[in-house]
């Protein structure tokens, strides 16, 4: 069985997912096309050797509806012989694309593959693909009558683990502080593809980081999901989730080059990491965001490792209650969790977030001299992805 390696990973800067966001001028396809061009330029490979392009995307409607990876590849000017497909596992779509690319190489289906993700939330707002419908259906509601939105699920997770509003806000402040330090020290510059805009400007830094954030400013924000209906449904809930301790709606894209170890040697490329193990798991769809816990347990078991063997961890900060819940279940030093800052500071461009986390994880391992890194993403419906990589 061929060994699969990560040659390189690159991402766009993160732009606020609003009409006036830094990347909002760009069609999602053009954003992804520029990330592809950067990855190919950085690695120096012939784009014609790529066997497949696997792209995570959640909002597959409108400008993201037509196999965005294929259109981005063509827009970048690369060979028409290279196909693409789109993968959707909610917030874990980009991470799943990477896992599928690795599995394709290990199975011998690919020699070379690109895995990536795209989400332009300024162009395709979250929930657009639902068209005001209920995707669960009556059978699911009959079995789980307490189904709620992700924001309310984040409140339920905070309640289950006894998390205070202060703890949620302090994690959020630290996320911005870490991301700011990473940005000004140049750590993100090594992973960011500068993006050219139609008006001639170039975006090369994350727009989402707010270094001035304090626990006091966050404490002034009102709970985001405490509608009258929800308060009536959960009368004993102490509402704590705000716009300040949740991930930001974001535009972003990312791409990773995966190939067999043999092919990398033939092309004189030096891989940065390899995938040790990956897992997917499901958990309570009402709590929804706790799938990261069984997914982590599962991937550690598959890798025959303990959490103490892992040097760095990335847990997607969909809401501050998520990494805090993970920390409550695993004895791990918080300084090594999301060490460069998380989605509260950097944003959460849904289908692209798995690649953004991968870029941070690889960079964090390289800077800290670590060997093993673990990455996990909570997903709607109570699902989660997890994987362990080894720095080479």
**For residues 380 and 316, what is the distance between their CA atoms, to the nearest angstrom?**
13
Q: How far is CA 162 from CA 156, 159, 238, 271, in A?
A: 10, 5, 10, 42
Q: To 10 degrees, what angle do helices 321-329 and 292-303 make?
A: 50
Catalytic residue among 57, 123, 176, 378: 378
Residue keyed to tokens 């929930």: 127
91 part of the active site: yes
For β-strands 312-315 and 372-379, DSSP reports them as parallel
CB 338 within 8 A of CB 314: yes
| Residue 348: active-site member | yes
Q: 57, 71, 91, 123: which is the annotated catalytic residue?
A: 91
The answer to whether 203 and 195 are in contact (CB under 8 A) is: yes
Q: What distance in Å separates the CA atoms of residue 235 and residue 148, rounded to the nearest whole number?
A: 15
Q: How many Å apart are CA 55 and CA 67, to the nearest integer?
A: 8
How far is residue 285's CA from residue 13's CA, in Å, rounded to a whole number?
32
What is the DSSP annotation of 186-228?
TTTTTTB--EE-TTS-EE-S-S---TT--HHHHHTSPPSS--H
Q: Confirm if 374 and 306 have CB atoms less than 8 A apart.
A: no
DSSP state of 12: P
Phi, psi dihedral angles at 179 (to 5 degrees): -65, -40
What is the set of active-site residues?
Answer: 91, 348, 378
């Amino acid at each position: 069985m061929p060994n699969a390696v990560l040659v390189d990973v690159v991402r766009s800067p993160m732009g606020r997912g609003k009409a006036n966001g830094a990347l909002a001028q760009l069609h999602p396809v053009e954003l992804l096309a520029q990330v592809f061009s950067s990855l190919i330029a950085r690695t120096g490979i012939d784009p014609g050797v790529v066997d497949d392009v696997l792209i995570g995307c959640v909002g597959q409607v409108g400008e993201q509806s037509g196999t965005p990876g294929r259109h981005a590849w063509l827009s970048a000017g690369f060979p028409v012989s290279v196909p693409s497909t789109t993968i959707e596992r909610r917030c874990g779509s980009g991470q799943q694309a990477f896992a599928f690319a690795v599995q394709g190489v290990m199975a011998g289906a690919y020699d070379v593959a690109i895995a990536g993700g795209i989400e332009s939330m300024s162009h395709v707002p979250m929930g657009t693909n639902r068209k005001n419908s209920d995707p669960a259906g009556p059978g699911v509601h009959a079995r789980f009558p307490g189904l709620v939105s992700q924001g309310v699920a984040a409140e339920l997770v905070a309640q289950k683990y006894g998390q205070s509003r202060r703890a949620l806000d302090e994690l959020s402040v630290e996320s911005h502080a870490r991301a700011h330090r990473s940005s000004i020290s140049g750590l993100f510059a090594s992973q960011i593809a500068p993006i050219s805009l139609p008006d001639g400007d170039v975006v090369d830094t994350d727009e989402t980081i707010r270094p001035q954030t304090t626990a006091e400013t966050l404490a002034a924000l009102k709970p985001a999901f405490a509608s009258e209906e929800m308060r009536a449904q959960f009368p004993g809930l102490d509402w704590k989730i705000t716009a300040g301790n949740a991930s930001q709606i974001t535009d972003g894209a990312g791409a990773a080059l995966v190939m067999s170890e043999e092919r990398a040697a033939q092309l004189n490329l030096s891989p940065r990491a390899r995938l040790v193990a990956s897992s997917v798991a499901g958990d309570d769809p009402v709590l929804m965001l706790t799938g990261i816990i069984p997914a982590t347990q599962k991937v550690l078991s598959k890798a025959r490792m303990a959490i103490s063997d892992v040097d760095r961890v990335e847990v997607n900060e969909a809401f501050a209650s998520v990494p805090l819940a993970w920390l409550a279940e695993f004895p791990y030093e918080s300084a090594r969790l999301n060490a460069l800052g998380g989605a509260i500071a950097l944003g959460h461009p849904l289908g692209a977030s798995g690649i953004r986390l991968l870029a941070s994880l690889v960079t964090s391992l390289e800077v800290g001299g670590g060997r093993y890194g673990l990455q996990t993403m909570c997903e709607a419906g109570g699902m989660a992805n997890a994987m362990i990589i080894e720095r080479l």
